[in-house]
Structure 1
Amino acid sequence: MMTRIKGEASLSEVHESVDISKKKVGWKQAFAFFGPAYLVSVGYMDPGNWATDLAGGSKFGYTLIWVLLMSNLMALLLQSLSARLGIVRGRDLAQANRETYPRSVNFLLYILAEVAIAATDLAEVLGMAIGINLLTGLPLIWGVSITVFDTFLLLFLQRLGIRKMEAFIIGLVAIVGLSFLVEILLAKPAFGEIAKGFVPKLPNEQALYIAIGIIGATVMPHNLYLHSALVQTRKIAKTKQGIKQALKWSFIDSAVALNIAFLVNAAILILAATTFFKKGMVDVAEIKQAHQLLSGLLGSSVAPVLFAIALIAAGQSSTVTGTLAGQIVMEGYLRLRINPWMRRLLTRLLAIVPAILVIAIAGEKEVDSLLILSQVILSMQLGFAIIPLIHFVSDKKTMGDFAIKPVVQAIAWVVTSILVYLNIRMLINEVSSFFAGSANIYWKILIIAGGALFLGLLVYIIFYPLFGRKAKKTSIQMHPQSESLQKLTIPTYKKIAVALDFGEHDDTLLAHAIGQGQGNAEYLLIHVVESASARLLGKESDDYETRYDEERLQMYVQQLHEQGLVATYHLGFRNRAEEIIRIIKESKADMLVIGAHRHSGLKDWLYGETINSVRHELKIPILVVNL
């Protein structure tokens, strides 16, 4: 299920899978590069943004549209820096962190990144469940539960390749965009008043709070990890001109995709302003409430249906990118790879369990509070992604001529300061209400200690790259400096185990084993009986399959004896991988020959992954023969 990776490539299964290095300059090259930013953009219009957009529109009309535009410009700057890191250095943000910061700090950054991804997934689960509820009437608790099945959608998409995955996401984005285009046409907003909303203005303290929420919900930390890896799916010419060309097309890709996300968020705010604020309904901040009111206010039954469909599409598109971000984070920080379906399932369960508990205990009325909590958690993580990113793309030693200019650095640090300040302020606002109540003193102490650790880590990652950088080789570099080969000692094997499955390739496996032993080794033939009787009774099993399998092993041993070879056999029962490991350890075999049938994906889950399970438990050489 889990393996330690040996390569350096981010998202290695699709790394440089789209070759644009040989395409002619022009629209064909641009089209080939377009795609990564669209996968990123779905995070800027996921269900977590809807509540803040609805609240901003219903309470203050068009006044806060400028906040959406400002947050979109901030996002464009940060995502372009993330793409620059991936294109120039060939590193995603997690890998770059691992090369720079000490192991203990990297572990904390990894945990924070995983928490951010789980919080994102929580918003997506709730959004999809609400959308299903609005469309079909299915109770929220069941809607949350069935979202676990989209685990297999990602598995299917990954098998199709990155371009088809991008096409699927773009299709979902198009559904969201078209749905809100129809909604806006039905609402008939006053475009003159919308234009006034682009003039910066905050009517009161509550408007500031909602503005903080909008910005906090827009720029998400997992998108910075994601974008730095996705741009590496494009194979570019590793020349100065090739990199410049890639940076240009990446920026255009980001600008188009993020502007689409801006238009979707603006459409939600405008819809709320036109439909609710104009009619005096200034307290519509919940998604379900907005959906219920749309039909009566717009005089169309189509409006609420499109609203629900858009919500489901937004949630579904975000789940795919959230899982990819999780893979990038785990591989970059820990150099561990986990099966995609298992990764998706674990992430999804981390979101489903708290959602189900809240709905079961407190009822559906608390779902929107849970959505807000997910956005607060995301706000806490943002600085830990942005600050290292700016350090990396500003470093001339690693970025060369492609390090960002001092003016861009200054703008990036100003944007970071604003975002970190606003997010800390949002967090303080949330915590202050908790402290104002009669909460347990131990909880208060725990929160204060957590806050101190939070600020301490933030200060550390700001200054460490400036003063604490060590002269060391990169931690992800896998190959040491080449040296001349020493005198080679050729191994000899005394006992070679052969795992047989009694298929048509048994003779191939035995031939490879004999080739390794050169006729001088003892050969141990292993087969594991997996019949119902064998699973239940183990060694006591005496069914037809057990007797037949033992006779076949005896026949193989006899034939090897006739060729002048030393051979024995051992029959195992129940779990194939566990029995192979046990038999080899007990017999003290010093090599294993095993066949690989080269199935993957869903078949790995259905049939098991014997080879992976065995090789992690055994310390002897293993020869895997592709059959």
Structure 2
Amino acid sequence: MFKKSKEAWRREKHQHSLQEVYSSIKVPQDAGFWKKLLAFTGPGLMIAVGYMDPGNWATDIEGGASFGYTLLSVILISNLFAIVLQHLSLKLGIVAERDLAQACRDHFSPPVNFVLWILCEIAIAACDLAEVIGTAIALNLLFGIPLTWGVVITVVDVFIILFLQAKGFRIIESIVGGLIFIILGCFIYELIVSKPEIFPILHGLVPQKEVVTNPHMLYIAIGILGATVMPHNLYLHSSIVQTRNYPRTTEGKKEAIKFATIDSSFSLMLAFFINASILILSAATFHTSGHHGVADIHDAYQLLTPLLGTTFASIFFGVALLASGQNSTLTGTLAGQIVMEGFLNIRLKPWVRRLITRLIAVIPALIVAILYGERGTSQLLVFSQIILSMQLSFAVIPLVMFTNSKLKMGRFANKPWLKILVIIISGIILILNLYLLYLTFTGL
């Protein structure tokens, strides 16, 4: 499948990734640690969005309601995997000055690149589908807007995002960061009113044998992994990290990797806290009260107020869901642009690119909402995560290949211990996702 080459990169004459914002954000060279870190802060928050999108909510809610705090360890392990993989992604972008899609185009043959592009576009459409459904559900819960109209309203996102992009990349990063802290604030409130038990939470962070021996628990655990590590984020991060205007020298790249890794790791720990909060809220509210069958965002919203005794519990839950859907929309748009330009070197007008991606997601969501209502959209939300799982290995394996190669990365190639670690992580992701697909399509 992969075309071997003795040359480092078969570089073609095409533009930088996201040419309009490439190296557009100044990094002060004579400043202290904190000022430089602030200049690099932003891409990590945009990546963290993909780890808390509406697709994660269903698996976290079901995991908490069914098994209490037991699956917290799975969220933690998934997040550690994500931190390592996003480090590889940002390192590829900084060192090679290529996003992952461009790196694939430089290395693989055209037929292989075309297949990888198709798979990636399917994944982005699946992610966009989750955002459409999540936003529509949130609008329905908060304002009573019918799901079908909620789905139609999401098309307006096209124009909002185009307006924001025209204002500059730092503006988009600030809005994403602001929405993340809204979600964070909502779940801090939810945790306070749900009063979870501390020691069971700490116990849940330790991996338990039953996660593997209990088939239902294993199924949900793999679903959490599939919903956590997002393939489009690996393409996105390798691109947007290049928006910083750091010296393109060995020392400059070394410093950029350090600060970008801090930004990424801290942001993903915020994502871990939010995902863990969803599961903890579900465990403390539903599992302890005997509502073990809650596996649906609608049910969770309706039950929060009577079980916790405060109307704000449901309202904040809905606000957080709406913010999550809008945030994921912003990053999904950029990822779509990056993979099309990177794999095919085709540049469409932004509104055309965005409209195509959104319509691919809106049409099936609209049909299911009309025919099957809220239950159908919830099932479609889960199905979108299955599609993402199918594509994940096709992004992870090239990323590991490139960053392990001394020929391509020079002195920045992964150290032996990191090579072994990322190969193990790739193998685990590949095996678990194949098993998830097997369970899904055999009906087990």
The alpha-carbon deviation at position 30 of structure 1 amounts to 0.7
Asked if 1:295 is matched to 2:305, the reply is yes
Q: How does 1:213-228 map to 2 (within 5 A)?
A: 213-228=223-238
Q: Is 2:197 the counterpart of 1:190?
A: yes
Is the aligned partner of 1:22 residue 2:22? no
Q: Where do residues 3-42 of structure 1 align in structure 2 (5 Å cutoff)?
A: 7-20=14-27, 22-42=29-49
Cα deviation code 1:137-193 (max 9, x no counterpart): 111111011100011111111111111110000001011110011011010111111
AA matched with 1:148: V
Query: Taking structure 1 as reference, are residues 134 and 202 closer, same or farther at Cα in structure 2, changes over 3 Å only?
Result: farther
The aligned residue for residue 259 of structure 1 is 269
Which letter maps to 2:438?
I
Structure 1 position 179 matched with structure 2 position 186 = yes
What corresponds to 1:123 in structure 2? 130
The one-letter code of the counterpart of 1:340 is: P
Equivalent residue number for residue 384 of structure 2: 374
Shift of 1:202: 4.5
For structure 2, the residue ranges without an aligned partner over 5 or more in a row are 1-11
Correspondence 1:150 to 2:134 = no
Give the superposition deviation at 1:8.
2.3
TM-score w.r.t. the length of structure 2 is 0.95
Q: Which amino acid aligns with 2:116?
A: L
Quote the Cα distance in structure 1 between the aligned partners of 2:195 and 2:208. 24
Superposed, 1:411-560 pairs within 5 Å as: 411-433=421-443
Indicate the residue corresponding to 2:366 in structure 1. 356
Distance 1:95 1:333 in 2: 6
Secondary structure at 2:20's aligned position in 1? helix
**Which segments of 5 or more consecutive residues in structure 1 lack a partner in the other structure?**
437-627
* AA partner of residue 230 (structure 1): I
- Distance in 2 separating the partners of 1:251 and 1:79: 8
The 8 Å contact of residues 394 and 409 in structure 1, kept in 2 or not, is answered as: yes
Q: Which amino acid aligns with 2:378?
A: D
Partner of 1:67: 74
* Distance in 1 separating the partners of 2:25 and 2:375: 46
1:311 is paired with a residue whose SS is: helix
What is the RMSD of the two structures over their aligned residues, measured on CA atoms? 1.2
Look up the match of 2:349: 339
Does the residue aligned with 1:336 lie in a helix, a strand or coil? coil
Q: C-alpha separation between the residues in 1 aligned to 2:169 and 2:370?
A: 38
Matched residues, number? 430
Shift of 1:364: 2.5
> Sequence identity, in percent?
52
Instruction: Indicate the residue corresponding to 1:268 in structure 2.
Output: 278
Q: Which amino acid letter does the alignment assign opposite residue 302 of structure 2?
A: Q
**Do structure 1's residue 310 and structure 2's residue 317 form an aligned pair?**
no
- Deviation of 1:236 after TM superposition, in Å, equals 1.1
How far off is 1:99 after superposition? 0.8
Kindly provide the amino acid, as one letter, of the partner of residue 356 in structure 1. L
* Contact 1:128–1:316 (CA under 8 A) maintained in structure 2: yes
Matched, 1:244 2:251: no
Distance 1:12 1:349, change over 3 A: same
For 2:13 and 2:338, locate their aligned partners in 1 and report how far apart those are by CA, in whole Å: 14
Per-residue displacement from partner, 1:427-472 (whole Å, max 9, x unpaired)?
A: 1111112xx9xxxxxxxxxxxxxxxxxxxxxxxxxxxxxxxxxxxx
Q: Which of 93, 103, 110 matches 1:96?
A: 103
How big is the shift at 1:22?
Answer: 2.8
TM-score for both structures, normalised by structure 1: 0.68
- 3-state SS in 1 of match to 2:16: coil
AA matched with 2:154? T
Higher strand share goes to which structure?
Answer: 1
Q: Secondary structure at the match of 2:347?
A: strand
Determine the structure 1 residue equivalent to 2:4.
none
Mapped to 2, the partners of 1:375 and 1:313 lie a distance apart of 19
* Alignment partner of 1:387 out of 397, 405, 424: 397
- The residue type paired with residue 151 of structure 1 is V
Q: CA deviation at 1:6?
A: 6.7
1:313-339 per-residue CA deviation (whole Å, 9 max, x = no partner) reads: 000000010010000000001111111
Rounded to whole Å, the distance in 2 between the matches of 1:411 and 1:126 is: 36
Larger relative contact order, structure 1 or 2 (CA cutoff 8 Å, min sep 6): 2
TM-superposed CA distance for 1:401, in Å, is 0.6
| 4+ runs deviating over 6 angstroms | none
CA drift of 1:363 comes to: 2.8
Q: Is this contact kept in 1: 2:28–2:35, CA < 8 A?
A: no
Q: Distance in 2 between matches of 1:6 and 1:154?
A: 29
The 8 Å contact of residues 21 and 242 in structure 1, kept in 2 or not, is answered as no
Which position in structure 1 is the counterpart of 2:7?
Answer: none
Equivalent pair of 2:132/2:362 in contact (CA under 8 Å): yes
Match of 2:142?
135
Please, which of 278, 291, 312 is the counterpart of residue 288 of structure 2? 278
- 1: CA distance, partners of 2:32 / 2:249: 15
User: Partners in 1 of 2:63 and 2:209 — Cα distance?
Assistant: 11
C-alpha contact 1:202 1:208 (8 A) present in aligned 2 = no
Q: Which amino acid aligns with 2:247?
A: A
For the residues of structure 1 that align with 2:348 and 2:179, how far apart are their CA atoms?
Answer: 27
Aligned position for 1:108: 115
1:465 alignment counterpart: none
Check whether the contact 2:92–2:98 (CA below 8 A) recurs between aligned residues.
yes
CA distance in 1, matches of 2:161, 2:323: 14
Superposed displacement of residue 100, structure 1:
0.8
Moved more, 191-200 or 237-246: 237-246
Contact 2:147 2:373 in 1 (8 A): no
Once the 2 structures are TM-superposed, how far is the Cα of residue 201 of structure 1 from its aligned partner? 1.0
1:200 is the counterpart of 2:207: yes
